A = this chain, B = another copy of it.
Amino acid sequence: MVAYVITREGIYVKRHIYNCQAGCPVESTLQIIAGKWKSVIIYHLLTGTQRFNDLQKEMPDCSRRMLALQLKELQVDGVIQKKVYPVIPVKTEYSLTKFGLTLKPVILAMEVWGKTYNQRASRQVIEN
């Protein structure tokens, strides 16, 4: 299947999409939550509405640029919604949509695993 999708650069382009009818359900899920920071963003929004800078503080390794790009993709996918308050300086709030909330079990499963099996990653060979 081919569809027009928004790239990380915010441009709509033609792109191959995994077959969503007969395709692997895990691949379908990845369509939505793949991306370096998407699941982390969703995780932080599970606790409620957050402003742009709140998210940034909670994800110090994610640049402002990447945060904005990933937020835009999540918004286009209908996972999150954005509320802009026309004050000066601007204030924006992000929150999960009803649809986004359906991802909760997935993100929570990731949280549980991360808390438990954190230390097992064998790729960490040398530390400094």
Contacts and interface: CB of A to CB of B under 8 A. Distances in A.
A103 B99 contact: no
A68 interface: no
Contacts of A107: 26
A109 interface: yes
Interface residues of A, number: 59
Nearest to A21: B118
Contacts of A36: 30, 34
11 contacts: A1-B127, A3-B126, A17-B124, A24-B40, A26-B111, A29-B111, A76-B122, A78-B120, A99-B117, A106-B109, A106-B110
Interface of A: 1-6, 12, 16-18, 20-21, 24-32, 34, 36, 39-40, 43, 58-59, 61, 76-78, 99, 102-103, 105-128
